[in-house]
Chains A and B, each alone.
Chain A
Amino acid sequence: MTTDPETASQPRDEAFWARAIGALKVRTMPVEALNLNVQGRHLVGPLQGFGPLYHKRYRVRLVGVALSPESVIQTWRQNFASFWPQGNHFFAPLSGIAPGEVAVLNIASPVGVKMSTGILVIYSDETCFTFMNPQGHMFAGMITFSAYEENGVTVAQVEPLLRSNDPFWEVMMRIYGFKREDWFWHQTLTALARFFGAQAEVEFAEECLDPRYQWAGAKNIWHNAAIRSGLYTIMVRPVQRLARRVSRHPVRRN
Chain B
Amino acid sequence: MMPANATIELRRLSDTISALDIRGEVTAFAEPMLMDTYLRATTEGARAVVLNFAGLDYMNSSGIGLLVTLLIRANRAKVRLLAVELKEHYRHIFELTRLNEAIRIYPTEAEALAALAGF
On chain B, the residues within 8 Å of A130 by CB distance are 61
B69 CB within 8 Å of chain A: yes
The residue in chain A whose Cβ has the minimal distance to the Cβ of B97 is: A45
Query: Which listed residue (B58, B59, B69, B96) contacts A55, Cβ 8 A?
Result: B69
- The answer to whether A209 and B69 touch across the interface, beta carbons within 8 angstroms, is yes
Tell yes or no: B78 within 8 A of A by CB: no
Contacts of A152 in B (CB 8 A): none
Binds A, one of B44-52, B87-95, B104-112: B87-95
The residue from A11, A20, A46, A48 contacting B96, defined by CB atoms under 8 A apart: A20
A206 CB to closest chain B CB (Å) equals 14
| A53–B72 touching, CB < 8 Å | yes
A122 to B92, CA, bound (A): 12
Most chain A Cβ neighbours within 10 Å, of B92, B96, B101: B96
Given known A13-B58, A123-B61, A144-B61, contact A209–B95 (CB-CB < 8 A) = no
- Contact-residue bracket for chain A: 20 to 34
A contact residues around B98 at 8 Å (CB):
43-45, 47-48
In the complex, what's the smallest C-beta–C-beta distance from A119 to chain B, in angstroms?
13
Chain B residues contacting A11 (CB-CB under 8 Å) are 57-58, 87, 89-90
Interface size class of B (residues with CB under 8 A): 20 to 34
Contact residues in B for A17 (Cβ distance below 8 Å): 89, 92-93, 96
A121 to B18, CA, bound (A): 35
A30-55 at interface with B (beta carbon < 8 Å): 43-48, 53, 55
Interface contact B60-A128, CB-CB below 8 Å: yes
Q: Which residues of A contact B73 (CB under 8 A)?
A: 209
Q: Is B58 a contact of A12 with CB atoms below 8 Å?
A: yes
For residue A125, CB closer than 8 A to chain B, the reply is yes
Contact pattern, B 17-33, Cβ under 8 Å of A = 1, otherwise 0: 00000000000000000
Chain A residue, CB-CB nearest to B71: A47
- The docked-state distance in angstroms from the alpha carbon of A130 to that of B98 is 15
A26 within 8 A of B: no
User: Could you say which residues of chain B place their CB within 8 Å of the CB of A204?
Assistant: none
By a CB distance below 8 angstroms, the chain B residues around A12 are 57-58
Query: In the assembly, what is the distance between CA of A146 and CA of B62, in Å?
Result: 10
A142–B64 touching, CB < 8 Å? yes
The closest CB in chain A to the CB of B101 belongs to A47
Contact A47 B89 (CB under 8 A): no
Report A126 CB to chain B, min CB distance, Å.
11
Q: What is the chain B residue whose CB lies nearest that of A127?
A: B60
Q: A21-B96, A47-B68, A128-B62 are in contact. List 17 more A-B contacts (CB 8 A).
A: A11-B58, A14-B89, A43-B96, A43-B98, A47-B71, A47-B98, A47-B99, A48-B98, A55-B69, A122-B61, A128-B60, A128-B61, A142-B64, A146-B62, A161-B65, A209-B72, A210-B76
Could you name 23 residue pairs across A and B whose Cβ atoms are closer than 8 Å? A12-B57, A16-B60, A17-B93, A18-B96, A19-B92, A20-B96, A21-B96, A43-B98, A47-B71, A47-B98, A47-B99, A47-B101, A48-B98, A122-B96, A125-B60, A128-B60, A128-B62, A132-B96, A132-B97, A142-B64, A161-B68, A161-B69, A210-B72
